[in-house]
Amino acid sequence: MEITFGILGQTTMRMHGNLNVRWTHRRERNVVAALLTQPGRRMSIDALVDWAWNEDEVRPREPRGALYKCVGRIRQALAQAGAPVKIVAISGGYQLEIDPELIDFHAFRSAMRRAHELSDQDEHRKACEAARAALALWRDEPLAGITSEPARNWRTSVTVNHWIPANTFLLSELLAVGRPDEALLLLDELSHGYATELWFAMLRLQALTAVGRYAARNEYYLDMYRYFRRTGDDQAAEDLRALQDHLRAPEPLSTGTDPAPANRPGAPPPPLRELPRDVAGFTGRADVLADLDTALTPAREAFVPTVVAVTGPPGVGKTSTVVHWATKVASRFPGGVMLIDLHGVGPAPRVEPADVVGALLCALNYPVDQIIGAAGRAARLRSLLSERPMLVVLDNAEDTTHIEPLLGVLSDCAVIVTARRRLKALARRHQCPTLTLAPLSGEMSAELLRRRLGERSVREPDAIARLASLCNGLPLALTIVAERAASRAGSRLQTIVEQVRDPATLLAMGDDGDGEEMNLYLAFSWSYQCLEPSAQQAFRVFGLHPGPEAGVEVLASAAGVPVTEGRRALDLLVAAHLVQQPGDGDRYRIHDLFHHFARALNTPGMPVDGPRRRMVAYYLHTAHNAHRIVHPRERGPKMPPVEPGCRPDRFTDPLAAMRWCLRERANLTAMAGYAAAHGLDELAWRFPHVTGPVLNRFGFFDDVIATLTVAVRSAAVSGNDLARMACLNDLGYLHLLAGHDAIAETHLRQALELATAHDVAFAVLTVKLNMGHRHRHAGRLDQAAALYEECAVAAREIGDEERQAKAAHNLAKTLAELDQPFRALEHLQQALLLRRGLGDAPGLVETHTELVGVYTDLAEFGPAHAHCRAALPLLERVRDLTAVMRLHTARANLALAEGRLDEALRFAREAVVFAERSQTATGEARALTALGHVLARRGDLEPARTAWSRAAGLYRDRERHRRADRVERHLAELEAAPDIPDARVSDEVTVSLPAPSSRHSS
């Protein structure tokens, strides 16, 4: 695979067969360079600006706009070069979609992994060539020319963690195959930047010895020994002296008369192999194992000591992954491998650094009691390890301060630290790579179960897939479930599925009375108990939240703390890997099992009523604030006072308000049922009145129907007839939109009974308007027209211009269907006049669209175009997918009537797309009908037949039989008369009843 992009030097791209440095402007190259460092991962706007603008440059005032322009130019350059890469905007940032192997840095890493594999197979000559080829990809310092802080940090990191280890690997392999002259030449090349490093000095001593230049070696040793002493690095000087002594007088072979190692302090024991047993059937983690191979690159005679942190949530398999890797590569370490459980988290006492030093000395057969004092023991251990470096796994560290005192002692060793919390301080201070283990994928989870359960998994593949899903990718959970299934060989796996479907059962599973109780609940509890009280509270509050994702604002409100305090507590949970922060925004996500665990912590007697009420209140009041900005003319329900400690968000921009509603759609939909389930019915019934109008715009009818169904019950429980009346009307309204006319009629009749009983004139009027739509849907056009006329008179009498306009508009639509276009125009003009006076932008779009249709039917194309022009700018303000779909359908019919077939085809196809996106089946049927007419006129008879067949089916499904009949007549006539005359199908609009608080002013 040919490399397309280079970042190991200046940022290059392959053009016309060659890597070109000046393929676009510097700023664009910097942006691409940043994205190339993290292929397939989103980078935020702020992060990209930090990367691409050097420190001496003024940052843009509008970062989003500046990057938008940059990305546009980049896309153009990529397209011209034919590069197999795509930049996509995602979640407020950008992401580069590319095969990593097309980037020179990733090609380098793959080549080095291959070199290590060859070395492990004793193919040292091939390993040398592979390493040379990999290093040849480094043209200059990485990201040359980019001086921003993130670029400098990345440059330092890859140099320390990849370039230096690759060179030391090559040097060691050259020495291993007897090519010390080449090793010396390479050392000379490296001397400019690394001549004073201990690893460099040790390798040079070995190379000089191998070529027999003993005098030069001795002179070089003295120079470097004095240098280390002069600069105060006494330990480096002693390490160098120990190597020089070994090279000058290698230890003789044993004659069998030496004292036993335990009686001879410092005698080199055989390589240690103190590791837990490797997991049988270890599954997955290929990426992590490869990263460990890359980061820890020890050679035989000398290697670069490296520290790697492996972190992740409890039960994710950190220890088993490290043990599996260490077992596989143990032969790389002259001194062997040793794992020490630090008990940083768990019931056992914490193992302190001094205890670790003692344990290592004992493992090396050194008589610890001969050295008095911790400092002396640490110095002696470091000296021993400098002669026989090893891999030390510091397992289950509490935090950076727990293991940092050991890093100096283990400076000549490869060290892996595993921890449940993020070790940011360790990574920052020691520039060590951190590998974070995520839960296993669904396929890897299923594979783990298949390996453990053998033939049973073949018989019940569906049960295996379900168990894998229920365990959320946690190897500990998968192992516990596999053990449960194995211990019940006579049971079907589906029985185990039914058991662990209850999260409480899965959390408690694992205590089998064998002396060591180990289950998920305990494993999670140890992490929870290590948290600060504020983080513990935040975790419990997350357990009260119905969904797995929430913003910091709602969680802080539920906890009754300021957002800054809530954010800090949540960041502690992120550091402990108990929750995740999927993006750069203030949103947090919790895995299902951790969510159930957090829920279980809220035991009876815990103060949950206040947090729960504040959580519901946050969503309700924030949604109300959004509703007031998006629909300033519509009053929502009268709101209860904001709960003390609850801080709802406010909006000044309708777009921001709509984005919030759409982002929180799942939580808002769940919140009505959640509130009702916990006795907060007076809050529950209000939700659909403040969330429905926005969600309806984007076609989320099922969500609004679900919340309205809950709201009807909650209003009844609250004893609020007016609220129940409003909910029943709106529920009928939504069922009409969804095509469930019979259900809609039932709800509307119940609403009308309540409105009549309570003598609420505007409510009676509203329900009757919606019942008029029911008549139209059923084909009872005369009844619909009469009811709309009655509503128009009633609205005028009570001074309700909004409903008067709706009545006039719908009367006009009905008259148009009755082939009375001139009467229809009269009422549409009246509706237009009223809606202009009200400033009703959505209503104006609706009426202008209807006028386009009527004038098209009359072949008066000038007025039709005028109303199109009037509707388009209003549509930008309204941002309603259904309205967009209707106008595109009308424009398709207009273009068809004028014979502009290409334009008509484009509008009709776009109308179908918008209808699908807005989930309006009748709207989709109308758009498909228009599309069929255009296709038939073009002579595309088979596609026309397909479009009309789909349209007829959609109409039939929603009991719009009259319209289905009309479309099917077109189908029947298709063969005989392919050039079918146009037929315009009008749309229907229903009316929402405002919440009770606004009834007297509507």
Per-residue model confidence (pLDDT) at position 1: 60
- What's the rounded Cα separation, in Å, for the pair 810 and 795? 14
Min mean pLDDT across 54-68, 385-399, 514-528, 782-796 is at 514-528
- What's the rounded Cα separation, in Å, for the pair 246 and 667? 68
Give the three-state DSSP class for 14.
strand
Contact 51, 93 (CB under 8 A): no
Residue 1000 has pLDDT above 60, yes or no: no
**Of 319, 316, 598, the residue nearest 476 (C-alpha):** 316
| Cα distances (Å, whole numbers) of residue 229 to 377, 383, 735, 930 | 21, 16, 85, 88
pLDDT digits (tens, 9 = 90+) for 646-675: 999 999 989 899 999 999 999 999 999 999
Residues forming beta bridges with residue 588, ordered by sequence position: 550
Arithmetic mean of pLDDT over the chain: 86
Min mean pLDDT across 182-196, 516-530, 844-858, 920-934 is at 516-530
Average pLDDT of the segment spanning 383-389: 83
Average pLDDT of the segment spanning 679-694: 95
Q: How confident is the model at residue 787 (pLDDT cuts 50, 70, 90)?
A: very high
Backbone angles phi, psi at 533, to 5 degrees: -55, -40
Q: In the chain, count H helices and then E strands.
A: 47, 14
> Looking up tokens 């950190």, which residue turns up?
318
pLDDT digits (tens, 9 = 90+) for 466-494: 998 998 888 888 888 888 888 787 778 88
Spatial neighbors of 22 by CB under 8 A, at least 6 apart, are none
Provide the token pair at 748. 């509307």
- Is CATH 1.10.287.110 the classification given to domain 818-973? no
Neighbours of 733 (CB within 10 A): 29
Provide the token pair at 650. 């406010």
Angle at 242 between CA 239 and CA 245, to 5 degrees: 150
**Of 764, 786, 766, the residue nearest 775 (C-alpha):** 786
Q: How confident is the model at residue 584 (pLDDT cuts 50, 70, 90)?
A: low
More confident residue, 216 or 253: 216
Per-residue model confidence (pLDDT) at position 389: 86
Provide the token pair at 682. 């007076």
Backbone angles phi, psi at 278, to 5 degrees: -65, 145
> Which amino acid, residue 972?
A
Per-residue model confidence (pLDDT) at position 995: 42
Residues forming beta bridges with residue 338, ordered by sequence position: 274, 392
Spatial neighbors of 700 by CB under 8 A, at least 6 apart, are 665, 919
- What's the rounded Cα separation, in Å, for the pair 868 and 437? 56
Strand ordering across the sheet containing 18-20:
5-6, 12-15, 18-20
- What's the rounded Cα separation, in Å, for the pair 95 and 39? 7
The 3-state secondary structure of 578-634, one letter per residue: CCECCCCCCEEECCHHHHHHHHHHCCCCCCCHHHHHHHHHHHHHHHHHHHHHHCCCC
Give the three-state DSSP class for 382.
helix
- What's the rounded Cα separation, in Å, for the pair 403 and 395? 10
Average pLDDT of the segment spanning 388-412: 91
| Cα distances (Å, whole numbers) of residue 263 to 372, 380, 932 | 18, 16, 96
Contact 326, 338 (CB under 8 A): no
pLDDT digits (tens, 9 = 90+) for 794-818: 999 999 999 999 999 999 999 999 9
- What's the rounded Cα separation, in Å, for the pair 291 and 308? 10
Spatial neighbors of 414 by CB under 8 A, at least 6 apart, are 296, 298, 303, 305, 306, 308, 333, 389, 390, 391, 392
- What's the rounded Cα separation, in Å, for the pair 842 and 879? 9
Total residues belonging to the chain: 1002
Out of 10-24, 288-302, 825-839, the most confident range is 825-839
Contact 320, 313 (CB under 8 A): no
Give the three-state DSSP class for 517.
coil
Q: What is the DSSP string of 771-833?
A: HHHHHHHTT-HHHHHHHHHHHHHHHHHHT-HHHHHHHHHHHHHHHHHTT-HHHHHHHHHHHHH
Per-residue model confidence (pLDDT) at position 804: 95
Backbone angles phi, psi at 937, to 5 degrees: -65, -35
> Which amino acid, residue 246?
H
Q: How confident is the model at residue 997 (pLDDT cuts 50, 70, 90)?
A: very low
- What's the rounded Cα separation, in Å, for the pair 906 and 113? 52
Q: pLDDT > 70: what percent of the chain? A: 92
- What's the rounded Cα separation, in Å, for the pair 509 and 483? 10
Contact 701, 734 (CB under 8 A): yes
Contact 788, 814 (CB under 8 A): yes
Per-residue model confidence (pLDDT) at position 752: 94
Contact 715, 995 (CB under 8 A): no
**Of 925, 949, 920, the residue nearest 936 (C-alpha):** 949
Provide the token pair at 758. 């309570």
Contact 132, 140 (CB under 8 A): no
Average pLDDT of the segment spanning 271-276: 85
The predicted model scores a pTM of 0.62
Residue 879 Rama label (left phi>0; alpha psi -120 to 50; beta): left
- What's the rounded Cα separation, in Å, for the pair 763 and 785? 19
Torsion angle of C-alpha atoms 936, 939, 940, 944, degrees rounded to 10:
10
Domain map (residue ranges) of the chain: 1-177, 267-436, 442-522, 818-973
Residue 994 has pLDDT above 60, yes or no: no
Level-2 CATH architecture, domain 267-436: 3-Layer(aba) Sandwich (3.40)
More confident residue, 153 or 258: 153
Strand ordering across the sheet containing 434-436:
272-274, 336-341, 391-397, 414-419, 307-311, 434-436
Spatial neighbors of 909 by CB under 8 A, at least 6 apart, are 931
> Looking up tokens 């999260």, which residue turns up?
503
- What's the rounded Cα separation, in Å, for the pair 483 and 518? 12
Residue 15 has pLDDT above 80, yes or no: no
**Of 793, 870, 882, the residue nearest 836 (C-alpha):** 870
Residues forming beta bridges with residue 414, ordered by sequence position: 391
Spatial neighbors of 1 by CB under 8 A, at least 6 apart, are 99, 101, 102, 107
- What's the rounded Cα separation, in Å, for the pair 907 and 934? 10
Residue range 1-177, CATH number? 1.10.10.10
**Of 265, 499, 515, the residue nearest 507 (C-alpha):** 499
**Of 471, 474, 477, 504, the residue nearest 600 (C-alpha):** 504
Q: How confident is the model at residue 264 (pLDDT cuts 50, 70, 90)?
A: very low
- What's the rounded Cα separation, in Å, for the pair 401 and 4? 43
Write the DSSP symbol of residue 436.
E
Same fold, 267-436 and 818-973: no
User: What is the b/e burial string over 643-680, where b = at least 16 CB atoms within 10 angstroms of the residue's CB?
Assistant: bebbbbbebeebeebbebbeebbebbbbbbbbbbebeb
